[in-house]
A and B are shown apart, each in its own frame.
Chain A
């Protein structure tokens, strides 16, 4: 070694502290794509307006590092994207005030209403892709989505209904993209 590395090094570890409910999840705080922020971001009286990103939706980064709703590539494309789940979106009050998104790649387990509800309920262990039918939503790898990038698997609670809302238990491991 010709020189000790140390104080002048540009190396740094900049990972966010983990979310309290996803201790092993890789967390990022992203700006939404400016086109997806209301313009102006307040109503006629001055109250901030919400954006479009809900907790439980899948997002990915565009070339500017901003969040857009996630759309999985198909296997024929061959190159995966880096998906994340929004755990604090910009449709609530602090989201409307700040328009920043707290997102986790994995691993974590979530309950989300953002999935394509199939004719037959999804069962635990089913591989899931995202965004091919509706941007930002989980869906079964079937039909047009049969070769979509895998992002997670249906968790042990499977698909269920609560207060009349369809929900899905999703386990998301940390992964760099599976087809």
Chain B
């Protein structure tokens, strides 16, 4: 049986000419839709934050208005504080005029560079134009999401480092201390986040700690096959330029109860294309807002 072999060059030229033809043939919308679907899928894979905070789309009906600005926001209710008390049979609990705490998520836009090219120059591209979108634009947008998340997390940890930072070597006792710190604050454990290169240190975890079976599996298959450490799902990322190699983070879960925060999308990543005569421009953008309403719902591990 013979298989048809596609050469990348032919494929890329076809894709590019198809891209140009679609735009020229008045099928700009179709080209946009195809590109947008592609970008959203790639972005989902690329941004580590999207595995910690699941993005939630908001419609016009969901957003909150502000008296002083046209800009949108989303107000999130937090649980009011409450207490119970032991009393005798003739006693009773204290009255309280409870107040609902709230926090707001504000929105901004992430936009890629605006790529401009003559259609005649585009014809010579042997690289898949979608690769420009995926390798450059999407990664850049995902990086900005991760930078935003890392800055937010760092600001929170730095407010309370004595409590929310655990220091130690990459060993079970350090992770145990970090998880205990979360649990001692009555925060459940959701997911861990660290760089892939740091995750490789799990290969050194001895059989006396993780058991023969796991040590054997790490030896045979490597660490990539494992998605958990001590039962906790681990989100790994190659972005050691954003998430420092020396850190890992433990986050509370978002479901079934949201102990962490919110990642809202007014609009998910969208490809926009325009053509004026022979000049084709395209770029991608998204409108998002992230917020953490529960600062104690994360613990940083600083490896020594």
> Contact at A93–B106, with CB atoms within 8 Å?
yes
> Contact at B103–A93, with CB atoms within 8 Å?
no
Chain B residues with CB under 8 Å of A118's CB are none
Which among B107-115, B168-176, B200-208 touches the partner chain? B107-115
Which of B107, B109, B158, B295 lies in contact with A93, CB distance below 8 A?
A: B107
Which of A17, A43, A92, A100 lies in contact with B71, CB distance below 8 A?
A: A92
> Contact at B73–A93, with CB atoms within 8 Å?
yes
Q: Determine how close the nearest CB of chain A comes to the CB of B167; give it in whole angstroms.
A: 21
- Tell whether A39 is near chain B: CB-to-CB under 8 Å: yes
B residues lining the A interface (CB < 8 Å)? 66, 69, 71-73, 78, 101-109, 114, 155-156, 158-159, 261, 289, 291-295
In the bound complex, how far is the Cα of B70 from the Cα of A153, in angstroms? Answer: 30
Q: Can you list 24 A-B pairs with a CB-CB distance of less than 8 A?
A: A39-B155, A40-B155, A40-B156, A41-B155, A45-B78, A45-B101, A45-B102, A46-B261, A46-B291, A46-B292, A46-B294, A46-B295, A47-B103, A47-B106, A48-B104, A48-B106, A93-B106, A94-B71, A94-B106, A94-B107, A94-B108, A96-B106, A97-B108, A97-B289
Chain B residues with CB under 8 Å of A41's CB are 155
> Contact at B114–A94, with CB atoms within 8 Å?
no
Range for the number of chain A residues in contact with chain B: 10 to 19
Chain B residues with CB under 8 Å of A45's CB are 78, 101-103, 293
Cβ-closest chain B residue relative to A48: B106
> Contact at B103–A97, with CB atoms within 8 Å?
no
Chain B residues with CB under 8 Å of A17's CB are 114
In the bound complex, how far is the Cα of B170 from the Cα of A79, in angstroms? Answer: 54
A94 with B103, Cβ < 8 A, contacts A41-B155, A46-B293 known = no
CB-defined interface of A97-109 with B at 8 Å, one 1/0 digit per residue?
Answer: 1101000000000
Chain A residues with CB under 8 Å of B73's CB are 93
> Contact at B107–A97, with CB atoms within 8 Å?
yes
> Contact at B69–A47, with CB atoms within 8 Å?
no
Q: Determine how close the nearest CB of chain B comes to the CB of A175; give it in whole angstroms.
A: 27
- Tell whether A42 is near chain B: CB-to-CB under 8 Å: yes
> Contact at B103–A46, with CB atoms within 8 Å?
yes
Chain B residues with CB under 8 Å of A43's CB are 103
In the bound complex, how far is the Cα of B75 from the Cα of A93, in angstroms? Answer: 12
> Contact at B155–A93, with CB atoms within 8 Å?
no
Chain A residues with CB under 8 Å of B159's CB are 40
- Greatest chain B CB density within 10 A among A46, A47, A93 is at A46
Chain B residues with CB under 8 Å of A97's CB are 105-108, 289
In the bound complex, how far is the Cα of B106 from the Cα of A92, in angstroms? Answer: 9
In the bound complex, how far is the Cα of B281 from the Cα of A17, in angstroms? Answer: 12
In the bound complex, how far is the Cα of B105 from the Cα of A40, in angstroms? Answer: 15
In the bound complex, how far is the Cα of B152 from the Cα of A41, in angstroms? Answer: 8
Q: Determine how close the nearest CB of chain B comes to the CB of A29; give it in whole angstroms.
A: 10
> Contact at A47–B104, with CB atoms within 8 Å?
yes
Q: Determine how close the nearest CB of chain B comes to the CB of A162; give it in whole angstroms.
A: 17
In the bound complex, how far is the Cα of B112 from the Cα of A17, in angstroms? Answer: 13
In the bound complex, how far is the Cα of B291 from the Cα of A125, in angstroms? Answer: 47
In the bound complex, how far is the Cα of B291 from the Cα of A98, in angstroms? Answer: 12
